[in-house]
Amino acid sequence: KGTKIAFVGLGIMGSPMAGHLVAAGHDVTGFDLSSAALDRLEAQGGTAAHSVRDAFRGAEVVITMLPNHPQVEDVVFTNELDPGVLLVDMSTIRPSTSIAIAQRHPRSLDAPVSGGETGAKQASLSIMVGGEEADFAAAKPVLEVVGKTIVHVGPHGAGQVVKAANQLMVGGIYALVAEAIVLLEASGVDPKAGLDVLAGGLAANRILDLKRESMIAREFTPGFRIDLHHKDMGIALDAARQVDVALPVTGQIAQLIAAGRAQGYGSLDHSALLKVIENFSGR
């Protein structure tokens, strides 16, 4: 028999993840503020709850996949969680908030993910987990339904620190792929031919593999919104401040992403950093 799971936050990521859990035989009750998201869950064979409290009733595992810390705090602090329930927060939030949640609900894991919408749809996410070993072991069979690379990286908050490191690298790689495209096009070199050869050399990376065609075509449907990446750069800089280190390149990337938001691209995919880089040169 499957595990009784409450799943809160059925958006771009949460919706396909919940669908995989249902398909794997788990008893999934979900809640989201959006009724379209609840309809999707029912179509996948899950149960739509009327409230967070309703979703939590009888749950053995609670999974949250929400935008940021205020939503996670709202869901886990204003609704009663049975002390025995295993809380798995898969949202990307500040490490300090994950630690605060664990102080109030010790049976919790921070388990943010990487792999994007594609990874969620294909159940191939990388999941970086912070918390107690025994809770990790208990959550692992459930996490294996949605992820491929699942690693216990340390105590509460450690999963979020690893995710922050991921986000600063992803932001930087997007910015540099964008600069490469601008240079190639301005020089009259076919960007597709240029990036095709680079994808086989030392500069090869997954963003080049997965996103170079859509970037060259200026297709910026999210995916992962600039607004969310802006949030994540704030998390990375906050985490750096907590441990007194300077991350100068991360600071620059954060400003490029902030410019994207200020220029009105917040709801586009983060590959729209290309527009920010083009705007610098008036192109």
Residue whose entry in the numeric block shows the structure tokens 């999934």: 28
Q: CA 185, CA 163: separation in Å to the nearest integer?
A: 33
Residues 84-99 as b or e (16 or more Cβ within 10 Å = b): ebbbbbbbbbbbebbb
Which one of 71-79, 81-89, 202-210, 249-257 is the stretch in contact with ligand NAD (CB under 6 A)?
71-79
Q: Is 14 in the site for ligand NAD (CB under 6 A)?
A: yes
Q: Is 33 in the site for ligand NAD (CB under 6 A)?
A: yes
Q: Is 80 in the site for ligand NAD (CB under 6 A)?
A: no
- Out of 47, 71, 126, 267, name the contact with ligand NAD by CB under 6 A: 71
Q: CA 158, CA 241: separation in Å to the nearest integer?
A: 15
Q: Tokens for 118? A: 């594609």
Report DSSP state, residue 224.
Answer: S
Q: Are 215 and 140 in contact (CB under 8 A)?
A: no
Residue whose entry in the numeric block shows the structure tokens 């040169």: 281
- Out of 34, 51, 103, 149, name the contact with ligand NAD by CB under 6 A: 34
Q: Is 186 in the site for ligand NAD (CB under 6 A)?
A: no
- Out of 65, 102, 129, 272, name the contact with ligand NAD by CB under 6 A: 65
Candidate list 148, 163, 192, 231, residue with the active-site label: 163
Closer residue to ligand NAD, CB minimum distance, 3 or 271: 271
Residue 98: its H or E element: helix 95-104
Pairing of strands 47-48, 61-64: unpaired
Q: Is 117 in the site for ligand NAD (CB under 6 A)?
A: yes
Q: How far is the CB of 75 from ligand NAD (least distance, A)?
A: 5
Q: CA 130, CA 156: separation in Å to the nearest integer?
A: 5
Task: List for the chain the helix, strand, coil content (%; round to 5).
Answer: 55, 15, 30
Q: Is 38 in the site for ligand NAD (CB under 6 A)?
A: no
231 is catalytic: no
Q: CA 14, CA 18: separation in Å to the nearest integer?
A: 6
- Out of 2, 67, 251, 266, name the contact with ligand NAD by CB under 6 A: 67
- Out of 22, 66, 81, 178, name the contact with ligand NAD by CB under 6 A: 66
Which one of 111-119, 154-162, 176-184, 211-219 is the stretch in contact with ligand NAD (CB under 6 A)?
111-119
Q: Which amino acid is at 28?
A: V
Chain positions 221 to 250 lying near ligand NAD, rule: CB under 6 A, are 223-224, 228
- Out of 91, 97, 160, 250, name the contact with ligand NAD by CB under 6 A: 91
Q: Is 32 in the site for ligand NAD (CB under 6 A)?
A: yes
Q: CA 9, CA 1: separation in Å to the nearest integer?
A: 24
Catalytic residue numbers read 163
Residue ranges in contact with ligand NAD by CB under 6 A: 8-14, 31-34, 37, 65-67, 71, 74-75, 91-92, 113-114, 116-117, 223-224, 228
